[in-house]
Amino acid sequence: MTSTVQSPYSSEQIAACLRGLLTIAWADGNFDPQEQELIASITRDELALGIKWDSLEIITPEELAPVLGKGTPAAENFLRTAIMVAIADGTYSPSEDQVLQQFCQSLEQPENLLEALRHTLEQPLQINLTIPSPKLTKRQINALHPLRDWLDRLDIQDPRVARFLCKMIPSQCPFERDVTLFRRKIVHIPPMCKINPLYEQLVGLRFRALSYLADKCGEDVSLYI
């Protein structure tokens, strides 16, 4: 899929960003086959970079910084997208936090933004099949306000990135279901919107990506709805 919209990013920058997102996806060890196919398909069908999936490897902070620059809008937008990838499943893990911190330092981005996410590590957002997920305290919720505002400023300027976001972020609130054992319900798993305090930012980002593809690029977005 191609677009006539002029992107401010070079193919080298997009490739580096993709490897950075791959690094985040691999950080917590939950990189399942569906996620592999998602990134592989974007690489193969949309980015048109001529690189093979087998050669698409994680990227170090030292490799990423020269391509995106330090303290640049490209670096800032990458970090916003990387955080979205980290929290898309409702869980922010210590391993993801470590990788993001290294990216922040290398790209010279403010690390205090991650401090808000670290508050969620005190009461993990991860779903437990036997114990309901604890709710965030008022202090934790208040600490997330600056991060919410910062994430909402993610500027969609590249159709390839927009397509990635539309594919990565589900169109409907997922995961809600009952877990049964011997025909008896043992636990109810709430939808992601009930366990992820940044879910509104994910939904808003997906909407902006869809609007960008439809309004700016003139693309048919029915595929993503």
Q: Considering only 30-34, 71-75, 129-133, 149-153, which range has the smallest mean pLDDT?
A: 129-133
Calculate mean pLDDT across residues 196-219. 89
How does pLDDT run across 183-194, given as a tens digit for each residue?
Answer: 665 555 556 666
Residue 1 is assigned to a structural domain of this protein: no
Residue 195 has pLDDT above 60, yes or no: yes
**∠ Cα 196 197 200 (to 5°):** 95
Tokens 């690390």, located at residue: 111
Residue 112 is assigned to a structural domain of this protein: yes
Residue 219 is assigned to a structural domain of this protein: yes
The whole-angstrom separation of Cα 150 and Cα 49 is: 30
pLDDT value for 2: 52
Residue 4 is assigned to a structural domain of this protein: no
Torsion angle, alpha carbons of 27, 30, 34, 38, to 10:
-10
Q: How confident is residue 180, by pLDDT bands cut at 50, 70 and 90? A: low
Q: Which of 122, 121, 114, 120 is nearest to 146 (CA)?
A: 114
Residue 33 is assigned to a structural domain of this protein: yes
Residue 80 has pLDDT above 70, yes or no: yes
pLDDT value for 60: 93
| Domain that includes residue 131, residue range | 11-224
Residue 31 is assigned to a structural domain of this protein: yes
Per the model's pLDDT, the better-predicted residue between 9 and 216 turns out to be: 216
Helix (H) or strand (E) holding 82: helix 73-87
pLDDT value for 68: 95
For the record, the structure tokens of 50 come out as 């001529």
Tell me the whole-structure pTM to 2 decimals. 0.73
DSSP 90: S
Residue 2 is assigned to a structural domain of this protein: no
Residue 3 is assigned to a structural domain of this protein: no
How many domains, the chain?
1
